[in-house]
Structure 1
Amino acid sequence: MTTFTYPIDDRLSLAFPQLNAAEKLFSLIESDRPHIEAFIADIAETKTLEAEKNFIKMKLHGYAEGTDYLFFIVYDETICGCIDIHNIDQKIGKGEIGYWLHSSYTKRGIVTKCVQALCGLAFKDFGLNKLLIFVDVENAPSNRVAQKVGFTLTSTEPQDVLLFGKLRDMNHYTLLKEHYKKGSDE
């Protein structure tokens, strides 16, 4: 892969998105759709390669505007998921983290390491002061990720997201720059 990467460890990195990876990313989603879309409405709506290309274009435009930072999660030089900061408000210095990972890569600490790294980038390089993660109350692994990285559960919002025609309750987590605990490698 010839793109800018941010190494996390010997096997794991974040890669700046490129449009020519859309087909690979879409194939990854299609190969694991029930797992990936279980808690993410945007993925559930991405049903074609063209929709995936448009998503990447939208995120690249958001990068140029300062409202989005999307990265591919790369493990052993293979794209296995995505992580981003979206809905960035530069005036307030806050943004929301979202991510997904192919099920064949779960239970390895990959997402926890990626969220930790992205928090470091957000606070040190992107000038943000506050990060949010919104997690379906039934998504135990993602709730654990937020807690492991040091986010504080600030509220549980009933019927906060519509997914497959059902209103879902969401846990809202917050991490302020002043409370961020840097990883051992920083």
Structure 2
Amino acid sequence: MNAFTYQIDDHLAFAFPQLEAAEELLALIESDRSHIEAFIDVMAETKTIEDEKDFIKMKLYGYADGTDYLFFILQGQKICGCIDIHNIDPKIGKGEIGYWLHSSFTKRGIISKSVKALCHLAFNDFGMNKLLICVDVDNAPSNRIAQRCGFTLTSTEPQDALLHGKLRDMNHYTLLKKQFKKGFDE
């Protein structure tokens, strides 16, 4: 993949999204749709290469506006998932992290490393002050990731999100820039 990349470690990197990757990204989603859609409802709207291109374009417009930062997660040169900061409020430097990873790449620390790397970019390069991760209460792996990455559970919101037509309770985790910096200084 010829794209701007941000190296996380010897094998893991972020790639800036490109329309040319739409087919590869859709194939990845299709090969693991039931796993990915377990806690992400919006994937149901992505069925064609054009849908995927529209999604990438929307994220690129958000990047230009400073309201959205999407990266493909690369293991070697292959896309294995995505991570983003969305719902960005530039006035107060706040945004929400979201991610998904193909099931064949889970339990390797990829998302934990990716979240930490994205926090580093957000706080040091994007001028952010506060990051949130909102997780379905039943999504045990993502709850553990938020905790492992230094986020603090600030609330559990009843009926806070719609997933497959049902209202779901969500855990809200927060990380401030000063907490992130302190964690790296210790």
- TM-score by structure 2 length? 0.96
Q: Which amino acid aligns with 1:136?
A: D
8 Å contact kept, 1:120–1:182: no
Would the aligned equivalents of 1:116 and 1:183 in 2 still touch at CA under 8 Å? no
Instruction: Please tell me the residue identity of whatever aligns with 2:29.
Output: I
Counterpart residue identity of residue 6, structure 2: Y
TM-score when normalising by structure 1: 0.96
Query: What residue in structure 2 maps to residue 8 of structure 1?
Result: 8
RMSD in angstroms over aligned alpha carbons?
Answer: 1.2
Residue identity opposite 2:184 in structure 1: K
Deviates more, 1:45-54 or 1:140-149: 45-54
- Following superposition, which runs of at least 4 residues in structure 1 exceed 4 angstroms of deviation? none
2:178 matched residue in structure 1:
178
Q: 1:183 to 1:75 in 2, by over 3 A?
A: farther
- Which string of whole-angstrom CA distances, capped at 9 and with x for unpartnered residues, describes residues 74-115 of structure 1? 002110000000111110100000000000000000000000
1:23 counterpart letter in structure 2: E
Aligned to 2:159: 159
Unaligned runs of 5+ in 2: none
Shift of 1:10: 0.4
Measure the CA separation in 2 of the matches of 1:78 and 1:177.
31
Partners in 1 of 2:57 and 2:63 — Cα distance?
Answer: 10
Q: Secondary structure at the match of 1:91?
A: coil
2:44 matched to 1:51?
Answer: no
Q: Percent identity among equivalent residues?
A: 74
Question: In the aligned structure 2, how far is the partner of 1:183 from the partner of 1:35?
Answer: 37
Q: Aligned equivalents of 1:183 and 1:52: distance in 2?
A: 40
Opposite residue 132 of structure 1, the aligned amino acid is L
